[in-house]
Structure 1
Amino acid sequence: MTQNLFLPLGYCLEFWAAGDGFFRFNIDGKTVWQARSFAIHPEFFSYHHREACEVTVVTNAPNAVLWAYGYQPQTVNETGITVFEFSDKGILQRTGAEIEDWLRSDPDRPTLHFSPIRHWMNDPVGLCKIDEIWHLFYQFHPSGSDWGPMHWGHATSRDLVNWLHMPVFLHPEQNLWRLGATGGAFSGNAFRDRDGSLMFFYTERLPAYDLFKGYREIQKIARPDRRMIKAEGIVTVLEQRPDGVEHDFRDPKVWWDDAANAYRMILGASIEGDPAVLLFGSGDGLDWQYLRPLYRAPVTFRQEGARAVECPDFFPLEDKWVLVMGFVGHVEPRTRRRNLLYALVGELINDAFVPDTSELQLLDFGTDYYAMQSFEADGRQIAFAWLFNWEYRKPEGSSYSGELSLPRALSLSEDKKKLLMLPVIEVAERYAADPVVEDKSGKFSLPKAPIEIRLSGPLEGSKLVATQGGELAFEVNVAEGVLSIRLAQDDGSIQYVAELGGGKDLRLFHDHGIVEIFADGGTVCGTRRGYANIEPDHLEISSSASAQVIERNLR
């Protein structure tokens, strides 16, 4: 394949490739950059164009290019990346709205929920707002649509709804594909220091050959370049694990603690087999000392399969402190749900977290709201989570895998004993609301679009059944104070349920197989991701509450 392209001064092309073949750039018949031969394993390549002129791209293996994009550093924050697709027919380029139109042409891709252009995505990381721009980072595997060596993908937004896709921000410290290993740049958080400087704390999993034991995890700091395009100045700040802590030692959340007049960090881990959250302290943000366990789970969690806490979150909210934890490997005996997310509300006193109650609050009864990360911006605590839980996999053949939840605003209940979650106001402001059903039960046809269902009033006895071609898409019930959901893929072996009590409001979003439920003012939430019958055409509502169905699309 040979094709001429005009590239502006300073243009960057980045790509991952594997397999037999070569790749080069020629200017006026002379080679200015080349990869003489691709390796059998994926490798990362980067070309920086030094003058505004036409270049000739030459390759004998266009299909060896796994993921490619270009950008101009001076303008990428306004335009996002340009996606390059290589084939025997030439190079196809897409930018901005062209990318969005292309993504929306995929009938199986959700439209209200963020997803990568291609390949694998999991945990949201490094979430922050800088001036008027929201920054979303996420764990990303750039060479395939299954989990692999982790990088940080990046997207930006001005409204938490419309996203620009940006260059890959952070890479593993070495090529793990070459080693036949996994690992790489795992989860972490954005931290704004007292002098205004921004840094990202994160875990690097060193080359790993077993997913469950024997790996090594260390903590690092990365600083963004002046344009927020790439991580630079990466340093290791914590390698030593406390006694009793094995391989799981990850996912930092860092803050400046006024009471201690020092930096504080939590990490997810286990202590002698019990899932735990560990607290570390530092005077300069670089040298860290282990202080104590912030939380250690009851022994029942270990007995029920929990290996460790991962992706812990800890933040002040309305004069309380909130701890959020996922217990990886845990199977709840009664319902058989896996890897549930829990919260505790309490006080932080002299580096000790004192929960108001020892009873863990189940944050999401559906299980597909996982690896939640929250951050403070503009006086709000906002959270995203990964919509996936390993129980069901995306069907083969898709160009990507992984979506994120709707952004949620966090608050406390009136008595300040529970954490509440509701969609941010931007969801209602930025997605058009076209009424489908107003104030009644019955059977209704549905548009081929995302919908929101609202019930207002007594929920006991309510039932929502959505079908596609007569086959179940999803079913939601409220019976004897218990809220439940069932998808087409469910065989009854796992029960997705939550105690609702006397809740009198429910909002349900459905978006191409994603169901997000918010009930009782956000006290009860449930998230599921299904892959069968994802475009329901009929809905039956049976409820004494007032019912409303709204079609939701981007304005």
Structure 2
Amino acid sequence: MNGMTKPAVRQDPYRPHVHYTPAANWINDPNGLVYFGGVYHLFYQYNPYASSHGHMHWGHAVSTDLVHWHEQDIALAEGEHQIFSGSAVVDWQNTSGLGDGTSPPLVACYTGHTSSNQAQYLASSQDGGTSWTLHPDAVLDRGKLDFRDPKVFWHAPTASWIMAVVHPVEREIELLRSTDLRAWTSLSIFGPAGATGGIWEVPDLFPVLDDAGHEHWVLKVDLNPGGPYGGSGVQYWLGDFDGQTFMPRTPAWWVDHGQDFYAAITWHDLPERRVWLSWMSNWQYAHHVPTAAAGWRGAMSLPREVGVRVDLDGPVLVQRPVPELQALRQAERPISAGITPFETDQAHEFLLRWPGSNSFRVQLEFRSEAGIEVSVEVTPREVAVRRPETAVTAGLTGYAGEHRAPLPPMEDHELRLFLDASSLEVFVGGGRAVLTDLLFPAQSIREVWCITEGLDHREAMGSLWPLSPTSER
């Protein structure tokens, strides 16, 4: 397919072209993200029986480029307990003793869920993640109904494994240490702190370097409800970790200012960079998005490189789409003030740049025959995404509205966004402001209106690229 060829109209207008979703049924949180032998593994919460939450298994997909994903057989299946969220590591030194000596085992640490208890269990793979053995005894059990989502990583300074696990109702993250992934010793408790309007879930703790090479530790945790618009959301702190305690140096900030970014975790054992992705939905309406008729519900965000940028106001988290996505670009087309027609039978990437000033407005309105389906506006101090209610989304409580993210003063501005069949991901200011929103247009979007104020018409110009599909569905 090239940029001049119109693809056949699909029977499923909302199935993503470049975002991962399985062939059928329900998915939510990504789990066990691990890189091994040149392969990126994406495990995720999966119900193989229906397009609603329940009977949690770990689904599985693999990729060699973070872009083209290939669905695999179920990795961890429900048995005496459901397989709730967790993480996976490469046990290079076979500290767990779960390897057979031929190659390092992959070890997953997940929450086993029953109606009366949640505890942490191990599973292992000796063939690079293709098949798994579930080990029957819990390695961490507090006899609690809500105690879940272990994120495990190797901490070289203390030569030990560190686990971040959440106590949802208490709004606490507990840090623990182990030398063998089996026996765990409690180190410290973080929280309650920041936003506490809902239960906490899916913690992650990891270091990143800023542009000057200084290390910052990122602690992030999700909450539901209590997000920036009343539904679910993700908050983070920047600080220090000494092998025992996380010490924040910033207040809590939102990771994503849209409505549909939840349960992000980072890949383990990925050299030289930090990458994560999330479930792209919101618990306000996840069970009601209009895709069940096609037999599926849920998709993942695009993978993002995570870093820290130090501005005049201090350090902030930045997120940028992984550069591997540029390989999907087809024939480039210019975009400037006015109307640009395009086809939404495939995904598109948009990129605009313009010089900074004290007073300007750049707005992109994505329109179908039904009218404006979504708009993105950038001004000197903020970016806003507006999702109007349509006939398709009238029953989705929390869908329609305006989502805003602050921007620091900048000499030059950049707006980069990805429009897929049922989502919009917006990156502004080099990834300082990010908004992720599901999108269910009433009709196919066929044109973008670029409106500028306070700028010469030649100052806000850019490009759009149709993107090659990453799935044949």
TM-score above 0.5, yes or no: yes
SS of aligned partner of 1:397: helix
> 1:106 maps to what in 2?
12
Give yes or no for the alignment of 1:498 onto 2:405. Answer: yes
- Describe the shift of the 1:102–1:494 C-alpha distance in structure 2 as closer, same or farther (beyond 3 A): closer
Structure 2 residue aligned with 1:92? none
Correspondence 1:275 to 2:181: no
Q: Which of 203, 214, 219 is the aligned partner of 1:323?
A: 219
Is 1:285 the equivalent of 2:285? no
Deviation of 1:348 after TM superposition, in Å, equals: 0.7
SS of alignment partner, residue 106 of structure 1: coil
The SS at the match of 2:163 is strand
Residues in 2 aligned to 1:513 and 1:140: alpha-carbon distance in whole angstroms = 20
Provide the rounded CA distance (Å) in 1 between the counterparts of 2:75 and 2:9: 22
Deviation (angstroms), 1:480: 5.7
CA positional deviation for 1:122: 0.8
SS in 2 for 1:434: coil
CA distance in 1, matches of 2:161, 2:63: 29
Q: Within 5 Å, which residues of 2 pair with 1:311-390? A: 311-318=202-209, 319-332=215-228, 336-357=229-250, 359-375=251-267, 376-390=269-283
Distance 1:529 1:508 in 2: 13
Q: 1:453/1:534 Cα in 2 relative to 1: closer, same or farther (>3 Å)? A: farther
Q: CA deviation at 1:447?
A: 1.5
Cα 1:275–1:482 shift into 2, 3 Å: same
Say whether residues 1:547 and 2:448 are aligned partners. Answer: no
Q: Structure 2: how far apart are the matches of 1:291 and 1:401?
A: 38
Distance, in Å, in 1 between the alignment partners of 2:407 and 2:446 is 28
C-alpha change, 1:102 and 1:373, in structure 2 (3 Å) is farther
- CA pair 190-240 structure 1, distance change in 2 beyond 3 A: closer
Q: Which amino acid aligns with 2:347?
A: P
Is structure 2 residue 132 aligned with structure 1 residue 234?
A: no
Cα gap change, 1:524 to 1:331, in 2 (>3 Å): closer
Deviation per CA, 1:466-506: give whole Å up to 9, x if none: 11104221111124622111123388975411112335111
User: Could you say which structure has the higher strand fraction?
Assistant: 1
Q: Which amino acid aligns with 1:364?
A: D
Unaligned runs of 5+ in 1: 1-100, 175-182, 209-214
Contact residue 280 and residue 298 of structure 2 kept, 8 A: yes
Name which of structure 1's ranges 482-491 and 188-197 shifts more when overlaid on structure 2.
Answer: 482-491
* In 2: Cα distance, 1:344 partner to 1:427 partner: 28
Residue aligned with 1:427, SS: helix
Q: 2:437 is matched with which residue? A: 528
1:463 lines up with 2:363 in the alignment = yes
Kindly provide the CA deviation profile for residues 220-243 of structure 1, in whole angstroms up to 9, marking residues without a partner as x.
Answer: 11001426322204243434339x
- Is the alpha carbon distance of 1:519 and 1:437 closer, same or farther for their aligned partners in structure 2, counting shifts above 3 Å? same
Structure 2 match to 1:163: 69
One-letter code aligned to 1:445: P
Report which structure shows greater RCO (CA 8 Å, sep ≥6).
Answer: 2
Q: Which moved more, 1:494-503 or 1:347-356?
A: 494-503
2:113 alignment partner in structure 1 = 205
Q: Give secondary structure in 2 for the equivalent of 1:428.
A: helix
Residue 296 of structure 1 pairs with residue 192 of structure 2: yes
Equivalence for 2:348: 451
What is the alpha-carbon distance in structure 2 between the residues aligned to residue 288 and residue 227 of structure 1? 25
Closer/same/farther in 2, CA of residues 486 and 495 from structure 1, 3 Å limit = closer
Alignment of structure 1 residues 10-409 onto 2, 5 Å = 106-174=12-80, 184-195=82-93, 196-206=104-114, 208=115, 215-226=116-127, 228-241=129-142, 247-270=145-168, 273-298=169-194, 301-302=195-196, 305-307=197-199, 309-318=200-209, 319-332=215-228, 336-357=229-250, 359-375=251-267, 376-392=269-285, 393-395=288-290, 396-409=292-305
Q: Deviations over 1:181-234 (max 9, x none)?
A: xx711111111224143201111111x2xxxxxx41110110014263222042
Do the aligned partners of residues 381 and 519 (structure 1) sit closer, same or farther apart at CA in structure 2, a change above 3 Å counting?
same
| Counterpart Cα distance in 1 of 2:247 and 2:9 | 46
Q: CA deviation at 1:458?
A: 4.0
- Cα–Cα, structure 1 residues 425 and 480, in superposed 2: closer, same or farther, change >3 Å? closer
| Corresponding residue for residue 4 of structure 1 | none
Counterpart residue number, 1:33? none
Cα distance in 2 for partners of 1:317, 1:104 equals 41
Q: Secondary structure at the match of 1:517?
A: strand
Bigger radius of gyration? 1
The SS at the match of 1:426 is helix
Q: How much does 1:280 deviate?
A: 1.4
Residue type of the alignment partner of 2:317:
L
SS class of match (2:223): strand
How far the C-alpha of 1:372 sits from its partner, in A, is 0.2
CA deviations 1:243-274 (Å, max 9, x no partner) are xxx5321111112223333322110214xx54
Mapped to 2, the partners of 1:143 and 1:492 lie a distance apart of 27
Q: Is the 8 A contact 1:251 1:268 kept in 2?
A: yes
Aligned CA RMSD, in angstroms, stands at: 2.4
TM-score, with structure 1 as normaliser = 0.72
Q: Work out the number of aligned pairs and report it.
A: 424
Query: Which secondary structure does the structure 1 equivalent of 2:157 belong to?
Result: coil
Percent identity among equivalent residues? Answer: 27
Q: Distance in 1 between matches of 2:139 and 2:326?
A: 42
For residues 423 and 448 of structure 2, what CA distance do their matches in structure 1 show? Answer: 16
Deviation for aligned residue 1:109: 0.9
- For the residue of structure 1 that corresponds to 2:141, the secondary structure is coil
Letter in 2 for 1:537: R
Counterpart of 1:27 in structure 2 is none
| Change beyond 3 A, Cα 1:355–1:434 | same
- What residue in structure 1 maps to residue 323 of structure 2? 425
Equivalent AA in structure 1 for residue 33 of structure 2 = L
Distance 2:177 2:279 in 1: 29
CA distance in 1, matches of 2:227, 2:180: 40
